[in-house]
Every structure is written in structure tokens, then in C-alpha cells.
Amino acid sequence: MNALKRGFLLFILFGVLLSTSILNAQNSDVLVSVSLKGVSESDISLLPLSGSKQFKPIANIAGVKSGETSTIQVSKEYLPGEFIVHFEYREKKESKPKPSEKRILINQQNLELWINPIYANNPDSIRFQKYEKENTGFLLFSKENNQKLQKLGVLQNFLMNYDEPESKFYKQGIEEYEKRRQGYNHWLNLQTIKDSSLFASSLYRFNYVPQITWEGSEKDREQSVLQHFFDGINFNDPVIIKTAQMNDWMNAYVNISMKQITKMSMRDSIISKAATTAIEKSKQGLPIVYGWMVDYFYKGFEANNLPGVMKVLKPYLADPNCLTSKRMEIERRLKGMESLVPGTKAPTILLPDAKGNVFDLDSYIPTTKYILVLFWSADCNHCLETVGSLYPWQQLAENQQKISVVAVSLDETETELKAWDQKIKELSDWKHLRTSDGIRSKVASDYFVLATPVMVLIDAKTKEIISLPASINELQSSLK
């Protein structure tokens, strides 16, 4: 290995170690004490808003009475981070439980919180200990920030709705808006620097106002926002991936990008472009932030059943500087896309059906020309939406003669199985199978299923794959 190559690899290794050590700088657990007031009693739980254990409670404390204090130990692996304190409170002893939530920031400081769950988001009903830093600092920033954004919003509304865009008055409005936009972003930068010791300061920059081209159509404005969307973010700040705002901010970027889709044939190319642009921007920052961005799009592609755009992630898997936590899943998905293609034989399915009989796909010969294999879960909202559209469509007489549905459940937990057992009663004309190992099962592995729903259209006689439709519309097109 020559000296230049050794130097490059050492540089990459140093970058990986540096970004990981910065993110894991928290060296001790933190205690969060919640003192209840204003209600008879409440159950209290604490949920992280980011990371692999997002929305999974760290602790659940039942039956906390008014005037009592409950203490939760937060492991350093969660820190720093944003959390939700969730209450199921009874205003009076005989009252029915009601939910309420309070979002908090936790960093290196033990936290003491006095709160009335009825008014969980009213600052007058919440008190932190003296000299508390993160939440107090973020509250002070938010008050001033909201005032400044309101003033900028007045000018923005004027420019969006004024009916004479060629007038001198309108051009003066653009100049004034741009001056105030730059002034606001400068103030935002100063606040971030001033509070740089706080985790809260990593949230400030998500308020950055990008440049807008006011001359032209609404589509031109959206394009300019996309072009400048990443101008204000610091991809060298590892803590941004510990915030819920990072995910919300990226969702906003994707939603604006999706507005560019005017017909279905444009979807994959526009989404691919949006993903590539965002990942390339993050690539200029720390490896752990770069990896987070790849993970974000992978999860989005899976959740929305967009296998056609998954290939845009392939180049980043070969980059040692990309600290994606989903490398194996992405590689498996890409391999599946190469293996499960039209014209290849569908993998064998050998599973018990809802009545306990063994179903064998290879020997299954229905009266229809096609078989649709549907991988789903009765506890998955997106699956239920798909089933809700697919079942009545398949039940039409002309479609019943064309296509049989084999629904493979990946439900595992007791709750999921109860939901599945109930739901299949409404889908009586389908053949229902279930694998006890869910997403880890052989059949899910054979079909490279990493998220549900997944549809595979098969020729009933030859058992060759015809298509992998991502929607009912694509299924209809395949049948034509």
C-alpha cells in the first residue's frame, strides 16, 4: 500500500472516530425528576424523539399522586436528545384518564420539572429548577424567534399575494424582504454561536430562511427554495441527528420536492434527484451525519414502497466515509431488486394457512391467470390502506376471474395476531398464510421483504414473476 493510500485511509478512520467520539461525548446518565401538581394522579412515561428507540418509552411510572415526585434515569446512550414526557392523568380521582404531553430537552444536566399535565404546554404551569439551561435557553430563543419570524411572515404574505408583480412597489417589497431575511439569518447565526455550549443551539438553525426567487411562478419559487434549502444547516454538527427537528426538516424538503411531480411517470426521477442532492450535501459534513442521511432515505423508500429509487443509494455503500447503520438492509434490498425481476421464477412459499393446512405455491394452481402475493401486517396502517383499496377492486367480477390473492402475514406479537385474526374475516376470498418469524422469516428473506406492504404479481401456471407493483395503479397496468 503506497503512502498516499495509507494517508487517505487514516484520514477516513480519523473522521469516523472523531464524529463518533463527539456524538458520544456524554459520559454519564442523567436523572429527570417530575413533580406532579394540579391533578389527582397520573401515569408518567418518557419517550425519546430520535434514534433507533424513537417513541419507545424509557420508563413508565404508574399512579403518581399530586405532590409526589418521580425520578427517571436516562442512560447516556440517549443523550443529548429531545424527549416527550407523556401523562395519562385523572383530574379527579373518579375522572377518566386523559393524555397530555410536554416536549423537553435533556443534555448533561439533571433535570427537575414541576408540571400540571392539564396545561402541559403552558409555560405558566411549568417550572424547571433554578439555573436549568437547555429548556430555559430554548424557551427564551423561541420567544424572540417567533416575534422576528412573524414580521418576516407579513412581508412574505404580501409578496405571495400581491397582484402587480411588475410594479415598482412590489420590487421594493422584494428588496425589503431580502434585507430582513439576511438580517434574520445573521441574528440566527449569532444566537447559535452565543448558545453553542447548549444542545438547544443545534435546533436553532432549522429556522434558517432560505433565499426565494419572487419573480416568476409559484413553481419557480419552490425550485429556488429547494436550491437553497441546505444553505443554513451545519452538517459538521453531529448533534443535529439527535434532534427530532432534523427529521421534520428533511420531511419538509421531501414534501416540497414532491410538489414538482405533475404526473406519475415523473415520480421516481424527481425523488431520486431529491435524495441524491440531499445526500451529496451531507457528504460534505461528518461521516455520521452523512450516514444518517442515507438511512433517512432508505427508511423513506421502504415505508412508501419505492424500490425503484433504491438504486440511488448504491454508490454510498462503497464509501467508507458513509456511516450508515442500514448498510446490510440496503445491500439486501438491492440484491433483491436484481434477483426478483420479471421473468424469473418466484421463490417457493411453503406455509400454513389460516386453517392450519400447508400451502405450497409451486403446486397451487388457481382458476385465474395470475396470483398476487401480498406481504402485509394487520398492524401496519400503510398495509391497511393498500388492503382497503385492493380487496374491493379484486372482488369485482372481471378481476376475480383474472387474479387470486395470497396474503402472507408477517405479524408476530400477540396484539398483531389478534388484529390479523380479526381482519382476515373481512377478506374471506383471499388465501391467508402466516409465518411465525415475521420479517426475519425465510419467506421474507427469499422475497427480500424488509418493510410491508410488498406485492408480487406471478403467472399462475409458470410461477414466473410478472411485476412487483408498488401501487394498485401499477398492478392494473401490469394486468393490461
Q: What is the largest CA-CA distance in the chain?
A: 78
Q: Which long-range contacts (CB under 8 A, 24 or more apart) does 383-391 make?
A: 383/452, 383/453, 384/423, 386/453, 386/455, 386/472, 387/423, 387/427, 387/453, 389/472, 390/472, 390/475, 391/426, 391/427, 391/430
Which of the four pLDDT bands, split at 50, 70 and 90, describes residue 27? Answer: low
Please tell me whether residues 63 and 173 are part of one structural domain.
no
| Closest alpha carbon to 456 in 440, 439, 475 | 475
Which pLDDT score, from 0 to 100, does residue 17 have? 42
The answer as to whether 8 is a domain residue is: no
The answer as to whether 392 is a domain residue is: yes
d(CA 181, CA 175): 10
Please tell me whether residues 112 and 235 are part of one structural domain.
no
The answer as to whether 121 is a domain residue is: yes
Half-sphere exposure of 107 (CA within 13 A, CB side): 18
Contact 172, 197 (CB under 8 A): no
Domain count within the chain: 3
The answer as to whether 345 is a domain residue is: no
Measured over the CA atoms of residue 269, residue 274, residue 277 and residue 279, the dihedral's sign is negative
| Closest alpha carbon to 461 in 398, 372, 373, 369 | 369
d(CA 300, CA 32): 33
Which of the four pLDDT bands, split at 50, 70 and 90, describes residue 9? Answer: very low
The answer as to whether 214 is a domain residue is: yes
Render pLDDT for 359-372 as a digit per residue (tens, 0 to 9). Answer: 999 999 999 999 99
What string of DSSP letters covers 311-346? GGGHHHHT-TT---S-HHHHHHHHHHHHHS-TTSBP
Q: Pick the last residue of a domain from 132, 162, 185.
A: 132
Q: Across the chain, what does the average pLDDT equal?
A: 89
Instruction: Compute φ and ψ for 116, nearest 5 degrees.
Output: -105, 110
Domain that holds residue 393: 350-479
Render pLDDT for 271-316 as a digit per residue (tens, 0 to 9). Answer: 999 999 999 999 999 999 999 999 999 999 887 777 778 889 999 9
Q: What is the percent of the chain with per-residue pLDDT over 70, rounded to a whole number? A: 94
Which pLDDT score, from 0 to 100, does residue 297 have? 96
Instruction: Please name the helix (run of DSSP H) or strand (run of DSSP E) that holds residue 477, with its range, or none.
Output: helix 472-479
pLDDT beyond 60 at 16 = no
Please tell me whether residues 141 and 276 are part of one structural domain.
yes
Q: Pick the last residue of a domain from 292, 314, 338.
A: 338
State the Rg of the chain over Cα: 27
Contact 256, 222 (CB under 8 A): yes
Which of the four pLDDT bands, split at 50, 70 and 90, describes residue 26? Answer: low
Please tell me whether residues 125 and 160 are part of one structural domain.
no
Please tell me whether residues 102 and 141 are part of one structural domain.
no
Please tell me whether residues 171 and 253 are part of one structural domain.
yes
Which pLDDT score, from 0 to 100, does residue 25 have? 53
Look up the pTM and report it: 0.76
Q: Order the strands of the 69-74 sheet from edge to edge.
A: 69-74, 30-36, 111-115, 126-128
pLDDT beyond 50 at 6 = no
Which of the four pLDDT bands, split at 50, 70 and 90, describes residue 124? Answer: confident
Q: What is the percent of the chain with per-residue pLDDT over 90, rounded to a whole number? A: 69
The answer as to whether 2 is a domain residue is: no
The answer as to whether 262 is a domain residue is: yes
Instruction: Please name the helix (run of DSSP H) or strand (run of DSSP E) that holds residue 44, with its range, or none.
Output: strand 41-48
Residues ≥6 apart with Cβ < 8 Å to 18: 286
Instruction: Please name the helix (run of DSSP H) or strand (run of DSSP E) that holds residue 87, with its range, or none.
Output: strand 81-90
Render pLDDT for 132-155 as a digit per residue (tens, 0 to 9). Answer: 999 999 999 999 999 999 999 999
Mean of the pLDDT values across residues 334-359? 87
Please tell me whether residues 155 and 299 are part of one structural domain.
yes
Give me the CATH number covering residue 380: 3.40.30.10
Please tell me whether residues 168 and 225 are part of one structural domain.
yes
Mean of the pLDDT values across residues 459-473? 91
Q: Pick the last residue of a domain from 313, 338, 363.
A: 338
Please tell me whether residues 247 and 169 are part of one structural domain.
yes
pLDDT beyond 60 at 4 = no
The answer as to whether 20 is a domain residue is: no
- CA-to-CA separations, 369 to 366, 463, 475, in angstroms, rounded: 8, 10, 14
Please tell me whether residues 368 and 309 are part of one structural domain.
no
Give me the CATH number covering residue 118: 2.60.40.180
d(CA 170, CA 164): 7
Contact 100, 46 (CB under 8 A): no
Please tell me whether residues 382 and 278 are part of one structural domain.
no
Please tell me whether residues 308 and 398 are part of one structural domain.
no
Mean of the pLDDT values across residues 192-217? 93
